[in-house]
A and B are shown apart, each in its own frame.
Chain A
Amino acid sequence: MQTQLADFIKDTPEGREADAILRTCVHCGFCTATCPTYQLLGDELDGPRGRIYLIKQVLEGGPVTERTRLHLDRCLTCRSCETTCPSGVKYHRLLDIGRQVVEENVPRGGLEALTRLALKEVLPRPWLFNPAVAVGKVLKPFLPSALGDKIPEAAGAPAKPRPTAVRQRKVLALAGCVQPGLAPNINAAAARVLDRLGIQMIEEEKAGCCGALRFHLNAQEAALDDMRRNIDAWWPHVEAGAEAILMTASGCGAHVKEYGLLLKDDPLYAAKAARIADLTQDAAELVMAQKDALLPLLAHRPAAGRKVAFHSPCTLQHGQKIRGVVEELLEAAGFTLTPVADSHLCCGSAGTYSILQPVLSKQLRDNKLSALTAGLPEVIATANIGCLTHLQSGLGSPSSRPSIAGVRHWIELLEDQLTAPETDSAAGTVA
């Protein structure tokens, strides 16, 4: 596509990156077909191709008002378009650059600014967030539904005890910001699975939010500080030989894998950030790499046979391009996967999107839940805390959905299966 970037940006690193991305786009429109918001709204301005054009205008010095900002705000950053794009357009990077320029030109006021400030400051801090959830549960009946719906019905299953064995092989794991409060069993389950595989999982307390949250709320400088703090916290472990940095939330994983790119112009951190990004693995990648050790452990377990619908988070399938891996692990563990239509579409959670764009988010969630429950699963599995709580909020109370046990992280299901008592018949074959 022809470009003519304005003087204010054309010779900056961001300007050069944006220009290169714009020039890969040939405007074919394939991306609109898999864009969740274009599919809902049918407006060029609410699809990737139109947003690329809007950003191009802004970077070329065109007029920019709330009108442009509205359509950029509606983007989920699910990156489904990147999976579809044959030309290889790095849309999410262009959006990051475009959103920052728009944010500077069209500042937000009043309640909107306040909401964003609260999200930026509270969510990444467990010491603020966890008490807030507790208070929220009490106040839930009095809150607007966009917010009330986000407070989990029952925080995920209580955490099982963590293994205490000290092992030679070690991986670092990110605890995350909201996950320990909302679903503490996820990382406990990951630690237990890894323990069975002979790997010790360490959580470094000094690490905190991965930075994605603030980054996508256009507090990019603050986000870079979150990232530097995590690098400092992890670095001694990396030097001590940690094999990998494990992510049990695919949203965090997608972001940490970009540390190298995002800090490439920071002379102090560029090299370390690249190393951290290289070491980062989603739980699915890490467990799959240990498949040879895992399969014998599963061999004598009862065939679970439980029907599971898997929702692959966008940050897993589009952001990290990990497809079919969790599904293979669940099947190996004896679960039966039910078919899910339009599995490429976002569930509407998308970080803070569910709070900032409640109407679209709810539509996407309801569509996703119909697709997930069509095959009558007993439980829904996913790989990201945001999707998990968002989908859970749409299921309603347990009494209204007796057939579905809820939404869980797949590693919890795998862990349940690993600790299930051995069956007689399986034991029989051993004897």
Chain B
Amino acid sequence: MGDRLPDSPDFATDRAALLAGLGRILPASRLYGELEDLKPYECDGLTAYRNLPLAVALPETEAEVQSILKFCSANQVPVVPRGAATGLSGGAMPHHQGLLLSLAKFKKILKVNPVARTALVQPGVRNLAVSEAAAPYNLYYAPDPSSQIACTIGGNVSENSGGVHCLKYGLTVHNVLQVRGYTMEGEPVTIGSAGLDAAGLDLLAVMNGSEGMLTVITEVLVKLTPKPQVAKVVLAYFDSVTKAGNAVADVIAAGIIPAGLEMMDKAATHAVEPYVQAGYDLEAEAVLLCESDGTPEEVEEEIAAMRAVLEKSGATSLRVSANEAERLRFWAGRKAAFPAVGRITPDYLCMDGTIPRKNLAKMLLAIADMEKKYGLRCANVFHAGDGNLHPLIMYDANQPGELERATAFGAEILELSVALGGSITGEHGVGVEKITQMCAQFTPEELALFHGLKAAFDPAGLLNPGKAVPTPARCREYRQIRGEQA
């Protein structure tokens, strides 16, 4: 499925010429062109969408990156940048007529500045490694995607990644000060500054979530946040997902901004418990993880307020983490939830719709109906606090037709997200996965503006073509089909 990129124009790249050209820039050990070596690079974390690149390059220096881009630009070769390839929307899926440019060797933490509370890092540095490097100064990097052990900063910027703590501390866009990189033509660019604001238009916001379509990022200056004195998490169990969904809205309505507010349903807790042994109640239909951090007094007061709201919302039982080790264990289950679902199903599609919190319960009921309609199971794990859903649709890719059913299931969730006043993506990006649903989210005029922005950075349209923004042709077809159905 998705073996080609229908939204990309055709390129007439000659593999031998590409390898010969890149061979003048890189040693053979860092340039792949044989099927055997290319295959493991054919997809990112979204294995349902695969595409073999013509070549893979693994540069180690900025000069190499620049030379590669200049060569590809001069020879009309599309380039797809790739970090840790943990993405779930196919943003780093290769182009079949192009080069896959891995930034995984850029893994240096260049500087941690405890006074300015910043860290200057290369794009291949793991998200968690930034926090580890900042820990001696009692600082950390706040955005914490569930894949933070493996995902890297370049990809975090490209997808504007969130995480369980972004409700209080913001997404990547709120925690990045400056991005350096190269345009497709090989021109160096610096966007943003070490200060909190800079003259001119705020292009830094554009870089966050640009899905590798505007520049190749080679250096990022991130903000560091002081570690809270205390953090505690409340586990609240519910006998129905509807009650849990409504409890989320109640917490926010009570004026509380938890440091994290997450939900897992029964299918999810059953998948993760064997891995983390967090001691989740496996009988409950849903569990909310509601975190408070700050000074001991603040946390005590806030935990009491959270307990009161959650009890009133119908929690069947509550448990507060007794110590830091227990708190981390409770979170470990949530953070490992996606891959842990691999224990109960060979394959899954992870959705990323975001909806107003008041509609959580309505959405969960609709998903339960869709499970019957498509004959597939779905585990629900999500950043409840900001309404960001991650339904995990389980299927078996070895059974003919299951992937197609799973894809249709996912599309229906995304379209319902838009209908409920939400968005098709909260943090995973559009990539190839949700490109059709972009037609539901935006008007042709809005999409034309996106294309205009892309062309301002990359007039030849060579950097990650065919991703994130659909062609007008796709949307016309989409509307035609929907129109006929309606």
Contact = CB atoms under 8 A, between A and B. Distances in A.
A126 to B, nearest CB: 39
B420 interface: no
Interface in A22-67: 23-34, 39, 41-45, 49-50, 53-54, 57, 62-65, 67
Given A1-B397, A27-B45, A30-B150, A45 B342 contact: no
Given A23-B398, A26-B348, A44-B85, A87 B339 contact: yes
B398 A2 contact: yes
Interface residues of B, number: 42
A57 B84 CA distance: 21
Contacts of B348: 26
Interface string B207-222: 0000000000000000
Given A3-B398, A30-B150, A43 B104 contact: yes
B36 A65 contact: yes
Given A85-B339, A88-B275, A28 B398 contact: no
B77 interface: no
Contact of A33 (B102, B150, B272): B150
B40 A53 contact: yes
A33 B149 contact: yes
A319 to B, nearest CB: 18
B86 A45 contact: no
B342 A26 contact: yes
What bracket does the count of chain A residues touching chain B fall in?
Answer: 35 or more
A84 interface: yes
Contacts of A68: 36
A67 B336 contact: no
Contacts of B338: 26, 28, 86
A67 B34 contact: yes
B339 A44 contact: no
B128 A33 contact: yes
Given A26-B338, A62-B35, A67-B37, A1 B346 contact: yes
Interface in B78-115: 84-86, 102, 104-105, 107
Given A1-B47, A30-B339, A63-B36, A44 B149 contact: no
Nearest to A33: B150
Contact of B41 (A33, A34, A44, A63): A44
A430 to B, nearest CB: 37
Contacts of B107: 39, 42
B475 interface: no
Interface string B443-456: 00000000000000
Contacts of A31: 150
Nearest to B150: A33
B275 A86 contact: yes
Nearest to B50: A2
Interface string B273-286: 01100000000000
A92 B344 CA distance: 21
B150 A32 contact: yes
A143 B36 CA distance: 36
Contacts of B139: none
A25 B124 CA distance: 23
B58 A42 contact: yes
Contacts of B336: 30, 86
Interface in B389-432: 397-398
A85 B150 CA distance: 11
Nearest to B105: A42
Interface in A80-127: 84-89
Interface string B327-348: 0000000001111111100111
A54 B272 contact: no
B479 interface: no
Interface string B36-53: 110111010101000000
B86 A29 contact: yes
A361 B151 CA distance: 26
B126 interface: yes
Nearest to A20: B346
Contact of A42 (B43, B102, B339, B342): B102
Interface in B354-390: none
A50 B43 CA distance: 11
Contacts of A65: 36
Nearest to A51: B40
Nearest to A85: B339
A24 B339 CA distance: 9
B85 A29 contact: yes
A39 B40 CA distance: 17
28 contacts: A2-B347, A3-B398, A23-B398, A24-B342, A26-B339, A27-B47, A28-B86, A28-B147, A29-B86, A29-B147, A30-B150, A32-B150, A33-B84, A33-B149, A39-B107, A42-B102, A43-B58, A44-B85, A44-B102, A53-B40, A54-B40, A62-B35, A63-B36, A65-B36, A67-B37, A68-B36, A86-B275, A88-B342
Interface of A: 1-4, 23-34, 39, 41-45, 49-50, 53-54, 57, 62-65, 67-68, 84-89
Given A1-B47, A28-B338, A63-B34, 6 more contacts: A2-B397, A26-B339, A27-B43, A53-B39, A57-B39, A87-B340
Interface of B: 32, 34-37, 39-41, 43, 45, 47, 58, 84-86, 102, 104-105, 107, 124, 126, 128, 147, 149-151, 272, 274-275, 336-343, 346-348, 397-398
